[in-house]
Structure 1
Amino acid sequence: MVATGWQEQQALAAAALPLLQVRDLTLEYRSENRTARATHEVGFDVLEGDRYVLLGASGCGKSSLLKAVAGFLPPRSGEILLQGVPVREPGPDRVVVFQEFDQLPPWKRVLDNVAFGLIASRQCGRDEARERAAHALATVGLSRAADAYPHQLSGGMKQRVAIARALVMRPRVLLMDEPFAALDALTRRSLQEELLRLWAELRFTLLFVTHSIEEALLVGSRVLLLSPHPGRVRAELDASGFDFANSGSAAFQAQQQRIHRLLFEL
């Protein structure tokens, strides 16, 4: 069937839309005695293939924003749109990698941990799920660990498995909540480099939370700065010109200092 002019215009308009739109989002946590506001009217757009970083001090609501995008935390006001459709609940098009190492069921071997989401969501049969899981493990350099149990892995290896488990789902947006914060400095740098290598190969869309200015500039192509509690948008910066090769440059240091001033100097 040949597309009409109107259909072509609609397709072009859809392609031009940001993949993810966050509009005037206010998030709150309510208990019987009090209400705590996490963010206040936060808005931003994430384009297809972006490495978009939410950066701010503890308590600025960046993890709450990630939970809301994942569908775990309903907004007090505002909205989240994925390809123009409101986000109401969790879905396989958004997969989260958390900071905690113990996010892998300990009774499952590594290969079965990676395949589990595919099987549970009925995206494919068990054999295909295991085949795709094996490929994902090879992508993160863990083929030899396929038959190991999580307790036999180091912290860095567990995070590689968690990344493989997320990527095997082929999500529209990969959500990462300070995934390397608890690792030692050398392992953290190794996994940052691994993440960027995977992005260059697969070109997924990344929404990444961190409180490290250096990590934000290294991992992100764009960085949203959030003010302290409750989180408000302070600024959005282009970080696409920075990488590991120029992380010691005067320009990199100057951008770090600028971000520090924007975050902490009122």
Structure 2
Amino acid sequence: MATHSLRVVSDRAAPLLPPLLQIDGVSLEYRTPERIVRATHQVSFDVHAGDRFVLLGPSGCGKSTLLKAVAGFVAPAEGEIRLEGQRVRQPGPDRIVVFQEFDQLPPWKTVVQNVMFPLRQARGLSRAEARERALDSLEKVGLADFADAYPHTLSGGMKQRVAIARALAMRPKVLLMDEPFAALDALTRRRMQEELLALWDDAGFTLLFVTHSIEEALVVGSRILLLSPHPGRVRAELNSHQFGLASQGGTEFQAAAQRIHTMLFGEPAAEAQTPRARSAASR
């Protein structure tokens, strides 16, 4: 599989360590009353420790199903998923998922209790150890003052921050995020992207992130895998570590977004018809 950067050729040195996560020729299927539907077809990619790896593609390309397979919720019809060389066969605390839905927090538990619960159940921490780690994680996402609040008193963005705090407190080998900011308004979404990148700078976790937004993929990802429309096949793998929130609106950022759109759909996006965008896309 060819690997491209958004400048066509990557100048990043190849990692010396073996991949943390390997997806090797994975095809995923699901059954409907009428037939068996193939969601992805022979998808392969590697995720290295510390990557911010984004799965990008149109709705229905199987990217969320692929994330669930990495989490261990869906078994591949063919191919194999390996974490640190071991085949993924079931869910585990080494892979924690943050979903799009806000209501993923049990409403009868306070914020700190929500973060503590998996630490007690899956990691076997004592109550004191779990509370200490939970409060530290809430501090990192700016919610320490809401530790004793209940989920129904929080905004959507705050609920997602609790979910992220809960996931990070588990210290997974891979943090899996399935379009976690898609339902947020534009301003809250940008703030959540800022906070996620700041957390990554602080903790250096490995991230596998699903989105159908080209701009979000460029902002969040250091590497991007492009998936074709249904069934999802690998179109390209891109390096995007040169971009960030400050890049948005810049000529190079807009040109990169247009190139990705063309690779995914075979034609420039509508906004490329502006003189500035046409000039950027031609470079």
Report the counterpart of residue 37 of structure 2 in structure 1.
36
Q: Give matches, 1:206-217, under 5 Å.
A: 206-217=207-218
Report the counterpart of residue 228 of structure 1 in structure 2.
229
Q: 1:105-161 deviations in whole A, cap 9, x for unaligned? A: 000000000111111114311111011001100010001100000000000000000
Amino acid of the structure 1 residue aligned with 2:154: L
Q: 1:52-92 deviations in whole A, cap 9, x for unaligned? A: 00000000000000000000000000000000000000000
Q: Give matches, 1:36-75, under 5 Å.
A: 36-75=37-76
Find out whether 1:151 has 2:152 as its counterpart. yes
Amino acid of the structure 2 residue aligned with 1:147: D
CA distance in structure 2 between the partners assigned to 1:162 and 1:220 by the alignment: 20
How far apart are 1:244 and its partner, in Å? 1.4
CA distance in structure 2 between the partners assigned to 1:133 and 1:100 by the alignment: 21
Find out whether 1:254 has 2:255 as its counterpart. yes
Q: Is the Cα–Cα contact under 8 Å of residues 123 and 170 in structure 2 kept in the other structure?
A: no
Q: Give matches, 1:9-158, under 5 Å.
A: 16-158=17-159
Partner SS, residue 181 of structure 2: coil
CA distance in structure 2 between the partners assigned to 1:27 and 1:48 by the alignment: 25
Partner SS, residue 22 of structure 1: strand
Report the counterpart of residue 245 of structure 1 in structure 2.
246
Partner SS, residue 175 of structure 1: strand
Amino acid of the structure 1 residue aligned with 2:98: V
Q: Give matches, 1:159-238, under 5 Å.
A: 159-238=160-239
How far apart are 1:32 and its partner, in Å? 4.8
| TM-score normalised by the chain length of structure 2 | 0.88
Measured on the aligned residues, the alpha-carbon RMSD in Å equals: 1.2
CA distance in structure 1 between the partners assigned to 2:45 and 2:173 by the alignment: 17
How far apart are 1:265 and its partner, in Å? 0.9
Amino acid of the structure 2 residue aligned with 1:45: D
CA distance in structure 2 between the partners assigned to 1:17 and 1:44 by the alignment: 13
Structure 2 spans left out of the alignment, 5+ residues:
1-15, 268-283
Q: Percent sequence identity over matched residues?
A: 69
CA distance in structure 2 between the partners assigned to 1:41 and 1:120 by the alignment: 35
CA distance in structure 2 between the partners assigned to 1:240 and 1:31 by the alignment: 39
CA distance in structure 2 between the partners assigned to 1:213 and 1:221 by the alignment: 13
CA distance in structure 2 between the partners assigned to 1:122 and 1:153 by the alignment: 27
Q: Is the Cα–Cα contact under 8 Å of residues 27 and 76 in structure 2 kept in the other structure?
A: yes
Amino acid of the structure 1 residue aligned with 2:190: R
CA distance in structure 2 between the partners assigned to 1:245 and 1:124 by the alignment: 40
Report the counterpart of residue 3 of structure 1 in structure 2.
none
CA distance in structure 1 between the partners assigned to 2:245 and 2:89 by the alignment: 38
